[in-house]
Amino acid sequence: MKNRNELVQEIGRKYESLTLANDFIFKKVMENEDLCKRLLETILHIEIDHLEYQHTQEDLKLSYDSKGIRLDVYTKGSDAVYDIEMQSVTKTNLSKRSRYYQAVIDSSNLDVGVNSTYELIPDSYVIFICMGDPFDHGLHFYSFENYCINGTEILPLGDGTKKIFLNAKGTADDIDPELAAFLNYLIDGKPTNQLTADLDDQVKRSRRNQEWRREYIMMSLFEHDVIIRGIEEGRKKGIEEGRKEGRKEGRKEGRKEGRKEGRKEGIEEGRKEGRKEGIGIGELQKAYQFVQNGMVSAEQAAQSFGMSVEQFYQELDELGLKEEN
């Protein structure tokens, strides 16, 4: 296990090589209003006069006791609002996430009071930029709107909402050269037009920003501490549950085939089941993400769970936690 200073130095070196595909860098680059506006125009094929409001890491909630969301990039134009989310790891729940994001955004744009009217809710775009294919259909550009599914003619609902998912690894011939240049830049980091050249310049400026570098290090250290605590707590709980279950199963098997052999099998099986309960799927997935990000080694993560590296990856496979990068 790396000591604190070694970990800080490693995270600092990693920051110096981050690309636009990293959500932290993406948020910082999108603080540039001109680049944010030009990227939106490239994705949506529309002209935007200006952005009236722009914020990264915007926190929104439906109500005081509801689940809050933290939007990567949330900005308002004269007649629409835009949420842009960078997804370096393709998650399986993006469809439902986009639905909830839409609801929270709409709620935040409806003023509370007697003068509130639904007509004042602006059009909205929820955009997920994915480094992998969220729907496995090979498209670069997935656009969803609400339509009536009955009748012979297409009847749009006209609620002013759009959900768009970009796939940087698409194979279909479904986008124009400008958008293709942007998605290719996310993959290989090579600018090939004016927009990607300007984005690349801003990425380099962001990596040189010492305040942002410190912010990234502190954020990464916090996440590291959370996962390490989760691993340790899961390990302890797994051992405790394993012993309890092992004693129970050991007595049962012992009555049938001999107390000594039964206890051995029961403890082994109990520890395995207890470990699954104690660790928790969330902690195991976080540990895998830290391994993927280079913050801990596979050996360190596996050891924290009381597993070999082979058992660690086998557990991830069995639980379906190894996601596409």
SS3 123: strand
Q: Check: CB of residue 324 under 8 Å from CB of residue 89.
A: yes
Domain boundaries, the chain: 18-208, 214-319
Q: Check: CB of residue 307 under 8 Å from CB of residue 277.
A: no
The answer to whether the Cα torsion of 299, 314, 136, 98 is positive or negative is: negative
The pLDDT value recorded for residue 65 is: 45
Q: Measure the CA–CA gap between 104 and 61, rounded to whole angstroms.
A: 6
Q: Measure the CA–CA gap between 107 and 79, rounded to whole angstroms.
A: 16
Q: Check: CB of residue 7 under 8 Å from CB of residue 295.
A: yes
Cα of 212 vs its chain's centroid, Å:
20
Q: Check: CB of residue 305 under 8 Å from CB of residue 272.
A: no
Q: Measure the CA–CA gap between 325 and 304, rounded to whole angstroms.
A: 24
128: which 2 tokens?
Answer: 């997920």
Burial grade of 165 (CB within 10 A; 0-12, 13-18, 19 or more): buried
The pLDDT value recorded for residue 269 is: 60
Query: How would you write 37-77 as a 3-class SS string?
Result: HHHHHHHHCCCCCCCCEEEEEEEECCCCCCCCEEEEEEEEC
Q: Measure the CA–CA gap between 264 and 149, rounded to whole angstroms.
A: 60
Instruction: Determine the Cα angle at 250 with ends 247 and 256, to 5°.
Output: 150
Compute how many other C-beta atoms are within 10 angstroms of the C-beta atom of residue 272: 15
Cα of 165 vs its chain's centroid, Å:
14
Q: Measure the CA–CA gap between 42 and 38, rounded to whole angstroms.
A: 6
DSSP 136: S
Residue appearing with tokens 């009847």 = 155
The pLDDT value recorded for residue 114 is: 46
DSSP 176: -
Query: Of 10, 34, 6, 18, nearest to 208 (Cα)?
Result: 18
The pLDDT value recorded for residue 63 is: 45
29: which 2 tokens?
Answer: 């680059």
pLDDT by 10s per residue, the chain, length 325: 667 788 888 888 899 999 999 989 999 999 999 999 999 999 999 999 888 766 665 555 544 444 556 677 888 888 899 999 998 876 668 999 999 889 888 887 776 554 567 777 889 999 999 999 999 999 999 999 999 999 888 899 999 999 999 999 999 999 999 999 999 999 999 999 999 999 999 999 999 999 999 999 888 887 777 666 666 666 666 666 666 776 676 666 656 665 555 556 655 665 555 555 555 666 777 777 777 766 667 777 777 777 788 887 888 777 776 654 4
pTM (2 d.p.): 0.66
Residue appearing with tokens 């990856």 = 313
The pLDDT value recorded for residue 84 is: 93
Cα of 138 vs its chain's centroid, Å:
21
The pLDDT value recorded for residue 140 is: 98
Query: Strands 123-130, 161-167: parallel, antiparallel or unpaired by DSSP?
Result: parallel
